[in-house]
Structure 1
Amino acid sequence: MTALLSEFQSTMLELPWLFVSLVFIFAATIGSFLNVVIHRLPVMMKREWQQECNQYLNEYHQELIAPIAKKLGKPLDNYPEKYNLVVPVSACPKCKTNIKPWHNLPILGWLLLQGKCASCEASISARYPVFELFTGAMVATLAWQFGPTLQFAMAALLTFALVALTGIDLDEMLLPDQITMPLLWLGLIININGLFTPLTDALIGAVAGYLSLWSVYWLFKIATGKEGMGYGDFKLMAVFGAWLGWQMLPLIILLSSLVGAIVGIMLIINNKLNSGNPIPFGPYIAAAGWIALLWGEPIVNAYLASL
């Protein structure tokens, strides 16, 4: 097995274009699954919260919910169907027709269907192939940058998670602990041998990343009485601190704040966002962190050289 892996790595090093092409196809396929994660994980979380609330009500307020349960004909702490990332199979939300496997081909499936359901011709959002295309392109860029190495494998895994977090935050303004916390621990584990940064820098980065936005949150709340961001943003910044070290945090904060401010101003100018309405900050942190993953050191070095 080791010999086969070594031979594969050697072949991919000799033919980098082949490696990048194969990675793009694989990553775009994963991007198709990430669309499912983006849609279903928040639903699964909401169901879990609802079940916990219903169990509490069942235990402490039985006299209040018993008539409701009787009317519905089922207990309130259970849902009638199993629902996770695999079950039920993907189906058209309008006509409920199951989606054929070949219709789920990344990018091509949407193009072959011309953006419409094969059964009822309901419109299928272009967001699905866009996420698949971006996932493939981002991971292919990592493949070109790192080659067939452990660094590439870990960076690709981080990218898949960032794509899912971005989609969920755009939809729900939520960065699930189910994704951010494993990423945080994984970042510390892979840096035990300094894969991306020394372990000491990773530990300091995790703490500093969390505290950097946590302190901004509380300063803003004390000054205005409002919450400027969510706790998921703190955790995502801690993730990048754990993966890339504390040295990359200023760059990530600067880039994410700059892009977030520009996008927010543009939305306000185009009347797509009212002043004072919240916008998700997680996608900007994710984009800035991904840029720092690839080009953070050259950017920082160029800036320091210009001083």
Structure 2
Amino acid sequence: MLETAGTPAATLLGVLGLLVGSFLNVVIHRLPRMMELRWAAECAELQSEETASATAAPEAAPFNLMVPRSRCPHCGHQIRWHENIPVLSYLALRGKCSQCATPISARYPAVEFTTAVLFAWCGWHWGLGGEALAWSGFSAALLALACIDWDTTLLPDDITLPLLWAGLCAAGLRLTGTALPDALWGAVGGYLSLWLVYWAFKLITGKEGMGYGDFKLFAALGAWFGWQALVPVILMASVIGAVIGIVIKLKGNLREGGYVPFGPFLALAGLTAMVFGPSAILAAIGL
């Protein structure tokens, strides 16, 4: 719906992006913890009945994306509605909890603002229609995955697999400009290419160079852009990762084991491909 593209569509989707960004902050913070709780429950189920009963703990309170309500992690102050307005509340509170004055991470408004900008760009470029909504969802998923992977070195299946299937469905509905066969082979090629790199590296060095979540994320990018985009996207991710990795190493901020997650760079390459197109990536790096 290019005829509706422009400022009105950008404004409406930008406002929606602020709200979605606020929810993404919840996802980024809680989903890894939910995964840990799920893994703990699965481990308990594998124990014998006798062992499980001997070590059983009281049933934990519900913890998911909806409950409990957001609280200050320092003093437990429950966030009121007017303290939870995207970006504006952070500015009004001057970046501090209203109860205990503990600083609030600047990443919260950064995620909200970035989501709003991405959604606004989709509205400006595609207008108010299925294409803009599809790519807005794509943007939100990549932003959440990038932050989660940077924090925890995890790329949750809860996001990567729906993103992959959404790319195939969007191609089938002609919402992405990618033909369904290209999207299908993009998903296959994305997964297998990194899977082969993983095993080659492991056989040579005896170490794991990346996780299975990276395979699934690259497969999802292949589903959205088609197999033709795999080389530009992986090259862009590698260049970004190398530059940021060198900067982090020079500053002495490498995490334990010297590991830098690859998912955030894949996500950033995917967003770059969305905005500029995969061919522009090759041109930018001189290929």
TM normalised by structure 1 equals 0.87
Asked if 2 retains the 8 angstrom alpha-carbon contact of 1:251 and 1:296, the reply is no
Please tell me whether residue 285 in structure 1 is matched to residue 275 in structure 2. no
2:17 to 11, 16, 27: 27
Match of 1:252 in 2: 233
Provide, for residues 270-305 of structure 1, a one-character-per-residue CA deviation record: whole Å limited to 9, x for no partner. 11116951111111001101111222255168579x
Match of 1:186 in 2: 166
Distance in 1 between residues matched to 2:281 and 2:80, nearest whole Å: 48
Corresponding pairs, count: 286
**CA-CA distance at 1:24 after TM superposition:** 1.3
The one-letter code matched in structure 2 to 1:127 is R
Match of 1:37 in 2: 27
**CA-CA distance at 1:149 after TM superposition:** 2.7
**CA-CA distance at 1:68 after TM superposition:** 3.6
Matches within 5 A, 1:135-150: 135-150=115-130
Judging changes above 3 Å, is the alpha-carbon distance between structure 1 residues 99 and 58 closer, same or farther for their aligned structure 2 residues? farther
Q: Following superposition, which runs of at least 4 residues in structure 1 exceed 6 angstroms of deviation?
A: none
The one-letter code matched in structure 1 to 2:206 is G
**CA-CA distance at 1:104 after TM superposition:** 0.8
Matches within 5 A, 1:1-307: 12-13=4-5, 16-59=6-49, 62=50, 64-69=51-56, 74=58, 78-79=59-60, 81-195=61-175, 196-273=177-254, 277-299=258-280, 302=283
Distance in 1 between residues matched to 2:229 and 2:203, nearest whole Å: 28
Distance in 1 between residues matched to 2:242 and 2:188, nearest whole Å: 25
**CA-CA distance at 1:193 after TM superposition:** 4.2
Distance in 2 between residues matched to 1:238 and 1:204, nearest whole Å: 9
Judging changes above 3 Å, is the alpha-carbon distance between structure 1 residues 303 and 270 closer, same or farther for their aligned structure 2 residues? closer
Gap regions ≥5 residues in structure 2: none
**CA-CA distance at 1:234 after TM superposition:** 0.4
**CA-CA distance at 1:139 after TM superposition:** 1.6
Distance in 1 between residues matched to 2:250 and 2:256, nearest whole Å: 10
Asked if 2 retains the 8 angstrom alpha-carbon contact of 1:145 and 1:294, the reply is no
Provide, for residues 49-104 of structure 1, a one-character-per-residue CA deviation record: whole Å limited to 9, x for no partner. 11111122243xx1x454443xx5x3xxx42x111101100011111111011111
Distance in 2 between residues matched to 1:224 and 1:297, nearest whole Å: 32
Provide, for residues 177-214 of structure 1, a one-character-per-residue CA deviation record: whole Å limited to 9, x for no partner. 11111111111112124432111111110000011111
Distance in 1 between residues matched to 2:214 and 2:92, nearest whole Å: 38
What is the root-mean-square deviation in Å for CA atoms of aligned residues?
2.1
Judging changes above 3 Å, is the alpha-carbon distance between structure 1 residues 274 and 95 closer, same or farther for their aligned structure 2 residues? closer
Higher relative contact order (CA 8 A, sep 6+): 2
The one-letter code matched in structure 2 to 1:243 is W
Asked if 2 retains the 8 angstrom alpha-carbon contact of 1:97 and 1:119, the reply is yes
- Which structure has the larger Rg? 1
Distance in 1 between residues matched to 2:28 and 2:284, nearest whole Å: 36
Distance in 1 between residues matched to 2:164 and 2:213, nearest whole Å: 12
The one-letter code matched in structure 1 to 2:9 is F
**CA-CA distance at 1:137 after TM superposition:** 1.0
Judging changes above 3 Å, is the alpha-carbon distance between structure 1 residues 57 and 275 closer, same or farther for their aligned structure 2 residues? closer
Asked if 1 retains the 8 angstrom alpha-carbon contact of 2:236 and 2:281, the reply is no
The one-letter code matched in structure 2 to 1:140 is A
The one-letter code matched in structure 1 to 2:20 is I
**CA-CA distance at 1:18 after TM superposition:** 2.4
Asked if 1 retains the 8 angstrom alpha-carbon contact of 2:232 and 2:278, the reply is no
The one-letter code matched in structure 2 to 1:259 is I
